[in-house]
Amino acid sequence: MSEEELNADGWAAIDEALEQLYGEQEQKHYGTAIPYMLGGPDPLNGISVYEVREPLPHWHFITYGFSELYEKESEDPEHSGYGFELTFRLFKSAAEDEPPAWALNLLQNLGRYVFNSGNVFRSGDYMDANGPIALEADTPLTALAFIADPLLPAIDTPNGRVEFIQLAGITNDELLAMQVWNTLGVLAEMKEHLPLYMTDLQRDSLLKLPAIAEAVRLGSESEGSNTGALYVDQLAWENPADDSVHTLQLGAKQAEIVGKLLRGRLLKGRTLTLAGPEISVSFETGDAPGFEIRGELIILKLDEAAGAALSEIFRPSAGLYSLPGWPELAVRIVPTHITDNEGTIVKTIG
C-alpha cells in the first residue's frame, strides 16, 4: 500500500493546526527516506519548518512522528502515540535561506532518545546536552528546557490528544536554576527577553541580569525545588569490610547541583532521590544522621547539621571528604570527563 493510500488522519490533524497558524504559507518539509522500522537512521517521519518574521525573524520547526500519524496502534485511547510533537523556534539571520541542518539533527536525536528509552517530554522538563546544543558551534547554550508551544495549543486527533512541546536552548547556569527551583518559573522570569521562547545561539545567560537573578533566587528560596529525582551516572556506594566508614561517590559535574538540590528540598521537608546505574540514594530529613541499606536503595537520614555539611561538600572538586559529626560516612567526588560524539575527552571537571 502506498503512503497516499494510508489513513493519515493524525498527520492531517497536525497540518490543520499549522494551517490555522500560518494560513497558506508554504513550509519546508524534510521527510525521512527510509522508515525507522525498516532500518532507517531517523525515527521521525518528517520535520516541517516555517519562516516567521514576527516578533523577530526565526525558523519554526514542527516534528511529525512522536504521535500516531496513520492508523491507531497504541492501546491508549486518550493520547496519540507518545502524546506530543516537538517544536523549536530558532533565531534566523538575514544571510540564511535554509534552516540549519544541526537543528533538524537535534530533533531527530531527541526522537532517538524517546524511541529508545520510552521517556517522554512534558512542559517543565529540562535536559543537559553536555555540550553546545549546536555541535561545533561557539555558543553558551548547553541544555534544553521544554514548555508548551505558546502559539500551538494541544489538539484532539482521531488517534488521541497531541500536545506541542517546544524546546528552548538554555545556558548551564539557567539549567542549574531550573533544577533548584523549577523550569516554568525560571522561563517565566526570562520571558521578556525570550520572545516566544526563541533560541538564539549568540545570547548570553539571562541570569547575568540582576533583576532575573534576584527573582529566581527568591522563587527558589520561597518554593524550594521541584526536582525530586535526578539521574547521576557516577553514583556509587562502598560498604567497608569492617563496617567502619561507608563512602558515597558522586561525579564532580553533578556534585554542585546535588548540593543545591539538597538545600532546596530538605529545607522544605522534601526528599531527594539520586538514581545511578546500579544503586539509588534517597536523602530524607531525620532527627539524627544515619543510613539504611535496602538492597540497591540507600536511605540517608539527615538532620539540619548533616544536610548543611553535605551541601558544602558537594562541589566540583575531586577528593575524599569526611563529615563533621558523622564519622560513619565519607563522600568521594571523582572527576567527570566530558567526551564528544567520538568518545574523545574534551573537558574534565574536578
Question: What average pLDDT does the chain have?
Answer: 89
Q: What is the mean pLDDT of residues 153-167?
A: 96
Residues 277, 235 contacting (CB under 8 angstroms)? yes
Sign of CA dihedral 138, 194, 220, 217: positive
Q: What is the pLDDT of residue 1?
A: 40
Q: What is the pLDDT of residue 172?
A: 92
Q: What is the mean pLDDT of residues 285-296?
A: 88
Other CB atoms within 10 A of residue 89 CB: 25
Q: Higher pLDDT residue, 103 or 323?
A: 103
Residues 6 or more apart whose CB falls under 8 angstroms from that of 113 comprise 119
Q: What is the mean pLDDT of residues 258-279?
A: 85
Q: Is the pLDDT of residue 136 over 90?
A: no
Helix (H) or strand (E) holding 103: helix 101-117
Which candidate, 132, 128, 115, places its Cα nearest to that of 63?
A: 115
Q: What is the mean pLDDT of residues 131-152?
A: 93
CA triple 185-188-189, angle to 5 deg: 90
Q: Which three three-digit cell numbers place residue 45?
A: 517521519
14-23, 69-78, 291-300, 341-350: lowest mean pLDDT where?
341-350
73-82, 176-185, 226-235, 297-306: lowest mean pLDDT where?
226-235
Q: What is the pLDDT of residue 229?
A: 83
Q: What is the mean pLDDT of residues 250-267?
A: 84
Q: What is the pLDDT of residue 73?
A: 87
Q: Which three three-digit cell numbers place residue 39?
A: 532500518
250: confidence class by pLDDT, cuts 50, 70, 90: very high
Q: Higher pLDDT residue, 6 or 273?
A: 273
Q: Is the pLDDT of residue 5 over 60?
A: no
Task: Please count the residues of the chain.
Answer: 350
State percent of the chain over pLDDT 70: 95
For 9-60, write each residue's pLDDT tens digit. 999 999 999 999 999 888 999 988 776 766 677 889 999 999 999 999 999 9
DSSP secondary structure letter of residue 303: -
Residues 6 or more apart whose CB falls under 8 angstroms from that of 227 comprise 179, 180, 182, 261, 264, 265, 272
Helix (H) or strand (E) holding 316: none
Q: What is the pLDDT of residue 183?
A: 95
SS3 content of the chain, % helix, strand, coil (to 5): 30, 35, 40
Residues 6 or more apart whose CB falls under 8 angstroms from that of 237 comprise 246, 247, 248, 249, 279, 281, 298
67-81, 107-121, 151-165, 218-232: lowest mean pLDDT where?
218-232
Bridge partners, residue 298, by sequence? 281, 293
Q: Is the pLDDT of residue 4 over 60?
A: no
Cis amide leading into 335 (omega within 30): no
157-171, 245-259, 335-349: lowest mean pLDDT where?
335-349
Q: Higher pLDDT residue, 340 or 61?
A: 61
Q: What is the pLDDT of residue 101?
A: 94
Which candidate, 264, 255, 226, 246, places its Cα nearest to that of 327?
A: 246
Distance of alpha carbon 232 from alpha carbon 170, whole angstroms: 20
